[in-house]
Chains A and B, each alone.
Chain A
Amino acid sequence: MPANKKYLSSPGQRVLKVTAALFGGYLVSLSFHQLLMTFLDKKTVVITSFFSMYILWAILMILAFLAKNGWKIWATYILISLLFCAPWIYEAYIK
């Protein structure tokens, strides 16, 4: 009873989704915690991330696989990461 092939992606899309799940999901989860650190106590955020970092990443992985289009989910994850990193980018490069 392996999964029904009808619902699975083409090889190209699969590569996009797997990479978006692993790398894109990681970037979003990491940048989310970095964003929190800009306005919350850093120690508290790091300690919370012991748990939240990996749970969030795993959920984002699943979302990437559920996405209809690999390109779109990659674009979404990159955009969200950039948005979350905006305060840091501003501090490091613009200011």
Chain B
Amino acid sequence: MNNRNYNIYFNTHTISGIIISAILYVIFFAGSFAFFKSEITSWQQNTSAAEISKKDINFNTIVDSLNKEYNLYGRDIYFYMYPRGGAKIGVSVSMSKDSSNKKRGGYFLYNSKTKVQSNYKESYDLGEFLYRLHFLAQVNGIARLGFPIGYYIAGGVAFAFLFALITGLLLHWNKIISNFYLFRPWEKLKTVWTDLHTALGVISFPFLFIFAVTGTYFLVSFPLMSKPTIAMQFDGKKEAFDKTMGYDDKNVPMAGKAIGKEIDINHFVSETFEKWDLTQLSYMQISNYGDQSMQVSMDVVLPRSEKFVGTGKIVYEAATGKVLEVKSPFEKAGYNGVVKDLVYTLHFGNYGGYATKVLYFLLGICGCVVIISGVLIWLVARNKKNIPGRKRKFNDWLANIYLSICLSMFPVTAASFIAVKIHPGGGTAFIYPFFFWSWLALSVLFIIRRNNYKTNRDSMLMGAIIGFFIPVANGVVSGNWIWTTYKKGFYDILLIDVFWLFVSMGAFICWYLIVKKYQKTNNTKIENSNKIEQEKELKKFRIS
């Protein structure tokens, strides 16, 4: 590689990296936990997915109670089933197409175990919070700009990350093979960080690359790709685009006549399950409730163990029970179906069991380590005598703030688990202030202390100690001790507890190694200065 290209990769990699580093860390850290979103939800609410069979949900009673509340005639009702997502079902009711029925629609969550309805804010849990923090959804609320500013920032960061990844790989190109597994933790700190950054970065490159590309797609593809495509290829008609892509909701015209009989929704559901063994319901739409034109349409999905991409659809005419449209989930998915599914599957890591999720978590944490070590290399590379003092001060200040914000996330997240265990029904009104205020307070303390070593050391120790008490808190508050959930087969709840024990142990080992390394470098420094003084005295002695 010629020198010019090398230096260009170097400069663009460094600058794009340092700009996005702190936000990218937040995204990676929250995202690593978000792989366990539904398990965290189950854990917080003491409702294991093992207790719930979503095949036994009585849709008729839900619809009856909705009918009393909204008068459903002419409305569409949507059920978002989250097949892998614990007890929650999202339910949404549209406006009526019958103009005499003016009451507005609504959206709420239905707990299929407790059979309780709650609105979105009340049922907000820590899994949802960390998942949304992962793409900065909370930032959207800061300013009303007419577009989701948080999503766009996260999307921009994801794309800059993609750029930094590729330039980083090119920069390291000649050493990829020779340094593939090169870790030298016994060397001086700068070498340790460089090894972590380059070797770990290369090893996890394929995974990080996928996260960057798909993440960018999720957050900015609408303004950057869909909108221009609608304008150029579809004469500015979004409906035409949605229809081509298969994004459109079913819009059935009203007949204007009442159907005149009770419709048994459960019957259609069980008919579908009989038709396709092993399928799970992922989405159901009831169109034009109570009208002659009423339809029940269901999207189903096969478990990943049966078929990697297995989505099907069936539409029933309610009045006659006739099947209007059918696509079997066992059918071949084709290029479009697979790629459309892949963009989510690869990012969410939900195609395997818990082992896959744990692996994804570890890769996410690898991302965090690569980011932090990158910032530290950036700092020490500029801590030289030929760099003006003013600049060095600024660099110290920036790295101090970055590290304080990033590393304090770990103990704060651990503490949030205990907080939501003690106060599980708090919703946004509890989680937002708890998480953000404690994060701010801890960051400010670390920033004021201005010692990166102590920031790292203390956040590891705090996280380890608090993390250890998470399973204990679960046992004390809800009686779900590790052995109880194991016996009952509540593996999602058990997973979170065991997971935290391991994280806590890992953090404790990190803390121990950090302290030992620091003492060792300090001792060698003292020894060196002692040696120099001894030599000076020897010289004096000789001269005299």
Considering only residues 198-247 of chain B, those with a C-beta below 8 Å from chain A are 212-214, 216-217, 221, 224-226, 228-229, 232-233, 244-246
A62 within 8 A of B: yes
Are the C-beta atoms of B225 and A47 separated by less than 8 Å?
no
Are the C-beta atoms of B335 and A59 separated by less than 8 Å?
no
Residues in B whose Cβ lies below 8 Å from that of A55 = 162, 213
The interface size bin for chain A is 20 to 34
A11 within 8 A of B: no
B3 within 8 A of A: yes
Are the C-beta atoms of B225 and A7 separated by less than 8 Å?
no
Are the C-beta atoms of B213 and A54 separated by less than 8 Å?
yes
CA of A65 to CA of B481, assembled, Å: 57
Considering only residues 11-63 of chain A, those with a C-beta below 8 Å from chain B are 26, 30, 33-34, 37, 42-44, 46-51, 53-55, 57-59, 61-62
Considering only residues 262-312 of chain B, those with a C-beta below 8 Å from chain A are none
Which of B10, B167, B232, B335 has a CB less than 8 Å from the CB of A34? B232
| Closest Cβ–Cβ distance, residue A40 to chain B (whole Å) | 11
| Closest Cβ–Cβ distance, residue A6 to chain B (whole Å) | 8
Query: Could you mark each residue 1-18 of chain B with 1 if its beta carbon is under 8 Å from any beta carbon of chain A, else 0?
Result: 001110111111010000
| Closest Cβ–Cβ distance, residue B398 to chain A (whole Å) | 15
Are the C-beta atoms of A43 and B336 separated by less than 8 Å?
yes
Main secondary structure of the interface of B (DSSP, over half): helix
Are the C-beta atoms of B336 and A88 separated by less than 8 Å?
no
| Closest partner residue, chain A, to B16 (CB atom) | A61
Which of B167, B213, B245 has a CB less than 8 Å from the CB of A51? B213
B382 within 8 A of A: yes
| Closest Cβ–Cβ distance, residue A28 to chain B (whole Å) | 13
B505 within 8 A of A: no
B434 within 8 A of A: no
Which of A7, A46, A61 has a CB less than 8 Å from the CB of B7? A7
Residues in A whose Cβ lies below 8 Å from that of B381 = 1-2
Residues in B whose Cβ lies below 8 Å from that of A33 = 225, 229
Which of B217, B224, B229 has a CB less than 8 Å from the CB of A37? B229
Residues in A whose Cβ lies below 8 Å from that of B435 = none
CA of A57 to CA of B245, assembled, Å: 23
Among A34, A48, A88, residue most surrounded by chain B Cβ atoms (within 10 Å): A34
- Contact status of A47 and B4, CB under 8 A, knowing A2-B14, A34-B233, A54-B213: no
B163 within 8 A of A: yes
| Closest partner residue, chain A, to B190 (CB atom) | A1
Are the C-beta atoms of B163 and A62 separated by less than 8 Å?
yes
Are the C-beta atoms of B162 and A58 separated by less than 8 Å?
yes
Main secondary structure of the interface of A (DSSP, over half): helix
Query: Could you mark each residue 92-118 of chain B with 1 if its beta carbon is under 8 Å from any beta carbon of chain A, else 0?
Result: 000000000000000000000000000
Are the C-beta atoms of B229 and A34 separated by less than 8 Å?
yes
- Contact status of A62 and B166, CB under 8 A, knowing A7-B3, A46-B225: yes
Residues in A whose Cβ lies below 8 Å from that of B182 = none
| Closest Cβ–Cβ distance, residue B213 to chain A (whole Å) | 5
| Closest partner residue, chain B, to A25 (CB atom) | B163
| Closest Cβ–Cβ distance, residue A18 to chain B (whole Å) | 9
| Closest Cβ–Cβ distance, residue B30 to chain A (whole Å) | 22
Are the C-beta atoms of B162 and A7 separated by less than 8 Å?
no
A3 within 8 A of B: yes
Are the C-beta atoms of B217 and A62 separated by less than 8 Å?
no
CA of A46 to CA of B460, assembled, Å: 45
| Closest partner residue, chain A, to B235 (CB atom) | A92
B343 within 8 A of A: yes
Residues in A whose Cβ lies below 8 Å from that of B382 = 2
Residues in B whose Cβ lies below 8 Å from that of A51 = 213-214, 217, 339, 343
CA of A55 to CA of B213, assembled, Å: 7
CA of A1 to CA of B387, assembled, Å: 11
A86 within 8 A of B: no
Residues in A whose Cβ lies below 8 Å from that of B246 = 43
B152 within 8 A of A: no
| Closest Cβ–Cβ distance, residue A64 to chain B (whole Å) | 10
CA of A53 to CA of B382, assembled, Å: 36
B192 within 8 A of A: no
- Contact status of A65 and B12, CB under 8 A, knowing A47-B339, A54-B162, A54-B213: yes
Are the C-beta atoms of B159 and A42 separated by less than 8 Å?
no
Which of B167, B213, B245 has a CB less than 8 Å from the CB of A46? B245
Are the C-beta atoms of B225 and A53 separated by less than 8 Å?
yes
Considering only residues 66-87 of chain A, those with a C-beta below 8 Å from chain B are 66
CA of A61 to CA of B160, assembled, Å: 10
| Closest Cβ–Cβ distance, residue B335 to chain A (whole Å) | 7
A10 within 8 A of B: no
Residues in B whose Cβ lies below 8 Å from that of A7 = 3-4, 7-8, 11
What are 30 A-to-B residue pairs whose CB atoms are below 8 Å? A1-B381, A3-B7, A3-B8, A3-B14, A4-B3, A7-B3, A7-B4, A7-B8, A8-B8, A30-B228, A34-B232, A42-B244, A43-B245, A43-B246, A46-B225, A46-B229, A47-B245, A47-B335, A47-B340, A51-B214, A51-B343, A53-B224, A54-B217, A58-B162, A61-B163, A62-B12, A62-B170, A65-B12, A66-B5, A88-B232
**Contacts A2-B382, A44-B336 supplied; 14 other A-B pairs, CB < 8 Å:** A2-B14, A6-B7, A8-B7, A30-B228, A33-B225, A43-B244, A48-B339, A50-B217, A50-B340, A51-B214, A54-B159, A55-B213, A58-B163, A58-B166
Residues of A within 8 A of B (CB): 1-4, 6-8, 26, 30, 33-34, 37, 42-44, 46-51, 53-55, 57-59, 61-62, 65-66, 88
* 8 closest residue pairs by CB, A with B: A7-B7, A3-B10, A3-B11, A3-B7, A7-B4, A54-B216, A50-B217, A1-B381
